[in-house]
């Protein structure tokens, strides 16, 4: 009885495994990315360490548009690789990191940059801590004031 049970389970697992492999094989082309090798500077650092450091610092603050919670420096998406290639070649050509950021923001909007921009839309964010502190002070004001009736004691 036990043998039958185990062998039935074993058969079930083997079937499930084979089945999922077949499904994986069948859907692979659908999930496939391109077959091209990565862009020259997608994974290759710049020869000049100072320039590479500049590029790296910028790439860590640019959003990967395919995998939107990652920076292009963290992502293995082909498009992130192409964007790293773009950043590195532009840095190597002498462009300033902030100019490259501006160039990308022109194309994708502020969303592409993780670095906060000094724009009116950011003001509520910077004002919020002050407003909350003021509000807290206002609410707590009564608590710290001496009760006039207690003053005699």
Partner 1 sequence: MTEAVAKRPSLAMWLPLALFGAFFVLVIWGLVRPADREVASAFIGKPLPQFALEAATQDRPGLSTADFKTGKPKLLNVFASWCVPCAVEAPTLDALAKRGVDIQGVAIRDRSEDLARFLATNGNPFTRIGKDDVSQVQVGIGSSGVPETFVIDGNGVIRYQHIGEIRPEDIDLILRKLAEAGQ
How far apart are alpha carbons 72 and 68 in whole angstroms?
9
Residue 21 CA to residue 15 CA, distance in Å, equals 10
Cβ(46)–Cβ(91) under 8 Å?
yes
The closest of 115, 50, 62 to 86, measured between CA atoms, is: 62
Decide if residue 86 touches partner 1 (CB under 8 A).
Answer: yes
Q: Give yes or no for residue 92 binding partner 1 (CB under 8 A).
A: no
Q: By rule CB under 8 A, what string of x and - marks binding of each residue 43-82 to partner 1?
A: ----------------------xx-x---------xx--x
Least distance from partner 1 to the Cβ atom of residue 140, Å? 10
Q: Does 34 bind partner 1 (CB under 8 A)?
A: yes
Nearest-CA neighbor of 68 among 33, 114, 122? Answer: 114
Least distance (Å) from partner 1 to the CB of residue 115? 17
Task: Give the DSSP H or E segment for 99.
Answer: helix 97-108
How many chain residues are in contact with partner 1, going by CB under 8 A?
A: 31
Q: Please report whether residue 3 would count as binding partner 1 according to CB under 8 A.
A: no
Query: Is residue 90 within 8 Å of 59, Cβ to Cβ?
Result: no
Q: In the complex, which residues of this chain contact partner 1 (CB under 8 A)?
A: 30, 32-36, 39-40, 65-66, 68, 78-79, 82-83, 85-86, 104-109, 111-112, 135, 138-139, 147, 149-150
């Amino acid at each position: 009885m036990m043998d039958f049970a185990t062998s039935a389970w074993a058969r079930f697992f083997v079937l499930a495994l084979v089945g999922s492999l077949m499904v994986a094989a069948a859907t692979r082309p659908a999930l496939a990315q391109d077959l091209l090798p990565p862009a020259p500077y997608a994974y290759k650092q710049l020869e000049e360490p100072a320039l590479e450091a500049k590029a790296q610092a910028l790439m860590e603050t640019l959003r990967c548009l395919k995998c939107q919670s990652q920076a292009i420096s963290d992502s293995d998406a082909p498009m992130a690789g192409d964007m790293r290639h773009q950043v590195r070649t532009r840095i190597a050509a002498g462009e300033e990191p902030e100019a490259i950021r501006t160039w990308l923001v022109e194309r994708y909007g502020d969303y592409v940059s993780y670095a906060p921009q000094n724009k009116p839309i950011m003001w509520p964010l910077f004002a919020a801590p002050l407003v909350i502190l003021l509000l807290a002070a206002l609410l707590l004001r009564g608590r710290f004031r001496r009760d006039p009736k207690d003053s005699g004691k």
